[in-house]
Amino acid sequence: MTQVVPEIAAPLPAPAAQARTLLLNASLEPLCIVSVHRAVLLMMCGKATVLETDGRTLHSAHVELPLPVVISLTRYVHVPVRRPVPPTRRTVLQRDSHRCAYCGGGADTVDHVHPRSKGGRHEWANVVAACVRCNHRKADRLLHELGWELPFTPRAPRWSIAFGSGAVRADPLWSAYVVA
């Protein structure tokens, strides 16, 4: 006589358990990044709908839901004007994708294009990511003194503080909704 063992749904794989979900307002404006747990609660309460999924599903005893990657609120939520993101080391490196503005290599420091010793200010338009080697070579000189040029014009990023930490681990499916 053989014993029948009921199938038990496997727990979420590690990537799904650590997944994050992009939350959009009803106007499709990005609001913040939430945990999958929070996203599922919003979906089950009828406060949000799924816009993007990666094909995986979440199972319970009675419900099967798609793993949400991007969700949208069903009602518009008024968001007060957000403060601009300050140009810190972390946010400048995120804006420049951890690439040196001078040589294109990996960056781990921040450099003032117009040196502070010569009147330059600590603002987005004057700060770029740089590698230690280029930062040391440039020192407190101007770019034209070295014959260097920037491949881009530094400017403030368009993402808010809510996306600062999540931007590093952004899902490719978010690109249609979040403008960098």
List, for residues 51-65, the tens digit of each pLDDT value: 999 889 888 888 898
pLDDT of residue 125: 95
Widest distance between CA atoms in the chain: 88
Res. 122 pLDDT band, cuts 50 70 90: very high
| 22 pLDDT more than 60 | yes
**Token pair of 100 as six digits:** 């040196």
> CA 21, CA 23: separation in Å to the nearest integer?
6
Res. 9 pLDDT band, cuts 50 70 90: very low
Res. 10 pLDDT band, cuts 50 70 90: very low
Strand, coil or helix: 127: strand
Q: What is the pTM of this model?
A: 0.56
**Token pair of 145 as six digits:** 């003194």
Residues whose CB is less than 8 angstroms from the CB of residue 176 and which lie 6 or more positions away in sequence, other chains included: 52
List, for residues 94-107, the tens digit of each pLDDT value: 889 999 999 999 99
| 161 pLDDT more than 50 | no
